Structure 1
Amino acid sequence: MRGEMKYLLARCIATGFGIGYFPYGPGTMGALALTVGYWFAPEIEWIWFVVLLIMGTVVGVVSSSLTERFIQISSGDQTHSDPQIIVIDEIVGMLFALLALPKTATFVAAAFVLFRFFDIVKPFPVNKFEKLPSGWGIMLDDIAAGILANVILHVARMIVAVV
């Protein structure tokens, strides 16, 4: 029974409390849910945002590893990796995309679009991270996509400030 509860909790977290079961674009829906939640959430100090990123990453790696392993065992397909129902990676990746950006409609929307673009297209170096094993590969490619989106938006912000 204890193992079943651990798996159930991991699956709830990994699927974004069910968002991963959305029939069309579950990853996009996970990122969108985070974006909407972020928009309506009160401002927090940057240090707490970083703590949230670290906790989200650790919990994401563990929950996605457990969920992926259970799916592999139950399906009999040991090669099945990064199942679509796992969306904690998109949720945490989107948080990285929003780090230290102004909370304006323009920046939040641009972060969402860029993050989803890099997560789907997986340019270098994002594509290198998905080759890592289990939850590390599931999480780190999306985190890399979020960081890439974030860096581009910060650079654009600096360029606009200079011009």
Structure 2
Amino acid sequence: MPESATPLPAPAPAPLPALAGGALLPRLVASMGGIGHLRPAPGSWGSALVLPAALLGPEGCLALAALLSLLGWWALERLPAAKADPGWVVVDEGAGQCLALAALPAAAGAPGLILAFLLFRLFDITKPGPVGWADRQKGSTGVMLDDLIAGAMAAALILALRAASPFWAPALGLPEMGF
């Protein structure tokens, strides 16, 4: 290269690819890393993904529910198509399932996890009372809120069953609350 020639600048790094309906990162958050694209029943896959969080205990599950809720609202605000709650959006199921798991102690076994999973999915799918009301709300609030309420209802029922000890809690494989 002659001395008078100036070197060409290095090429700029390629931007993150955009996907249909929005940017890559919000879509990855909303689908919890792509889990929401599994079929059948993507909501159940999203709920199952967070079941190991039960090992964190109630405080860890509540913290994860809060984190997923904040990330979910952030992602949904950036994905206009996701505000209609398409099946691939499962971050809301992850957050709601974490609320249901927060009713379990860290020592809960498989029966407790199965109960928390089934109760949350039952309330999320059937949308009784306040869950249905929240589901009818518009935008990212409605997408997130119905699952958070379903998770809270599942947690309340689990806590009631644990409080009804000594019969129900051991029968369901749950530790007693020990009031």
In which range does the TM-score fall when normalised by the shorter chain? 0.7 to 0.9
Unaligned runs of 5+ residues in structure 1 are 73-79
- Residue 128 of structure 1 and its aligned partner are, at CA, apart by 0.8
What is the rounded CA distance, in whole Å, between the counterparts of 1:153 and 1:100 in structure 2? 6
**1:67-86 to 2 correspondences below 5 Å:** 67=79, 69=80, 71=81, 81-86=84-89
User: Of the candidates 117, 125, 131, which is equivalent to residue 130 of structure 2?
Assistant: 125
What is the rounded CA distance, in whole Å, between the counterparts of 2:124 and 2:78 in structure 1? 22
What is the rounded CA distance, in whole Å, between the counterparts of 1:122 and 1:138 in structure 2? 13
Amino acid at match of 1:18: G
What is the rounded CA distance, in whole Å, between the counterparts of 1:65 and 1:3 in structure 2? 19
TM-score, length basis structure 2 = 0.74
| Counterpart residue number, 2:91 | 88
What is the rounded CA distance, in whole Å, between the counterparts of 2:115 and 2:101 in structure 1? 10
User: Of the candidates 20, 28, 39, which is equivalent to residue 36 of structure 2?
Assistant: 20
Q: Is the 8 A contact 2:44 2:121 kept in 1?
A: yes
Unaligned runs of 5+ residues in structure 2 are 1-14, 169-179
Amino acid at match of 2:162: R
1:38 paired with 2:47, answer: no
Deviations 1:37-83 (A, max 9, x none): 335xxx4364444332222211111212322x0x37xxxxxxx7111
Give the % identical residues: 30
Work out which of the two has the higher radius of gyration on C-alpha atoms and give 1 or 2. 2
What is the rounded CA distance, in whole Å, between the counterparts of 1:148 and 1:26 in structure 2? 21
Q: Is the 8 A contact 1:99 1:150 kept in 2?
A: yes
Give me the CA root mean square deviation. 2.4
Q: Is the 8 A contact 2:101 2:116 kept in 1?
A: yes
What is the rounded CA distance, in whole Å, between the counterparts of 1:57 and 1:122 in structure 2? 19
The higher relative CO (CA closer than 8 Å, separation ≥ 6) is in: 1
Deviations 1:84-112 (A, max 9, x none): 11000111110001014132211111000
| Counterpart residue number, 2:11 | none
| Counterpart residue number, 1:107 | 112
Deviations 1:105-149 (A, max 9, x none): 111110000000100000001111112221111011001001100
Q: Is the 8 A contact 1:119 1:141 kept in 2?
A: yes
Structure with the larger helix share: 1
Classify 1:38/1:54 alpha carbon distance in 2 versus 1 (closer, same or farther; 3 Å).
closer
User: Of the candidates 12, 15, 26, which is equivalent to residue 10 of structure 1?
Assistant: 26
1:141 paired with 2:153, answer: no
What is the rounded CA distance, in whole Å, between the counterparts of 1:104 and 1:56 in structure 2? 24
What is the rounded CA distance, in whole Å, between the counterparts of 1:85 and 1:38 in structure 2? 21
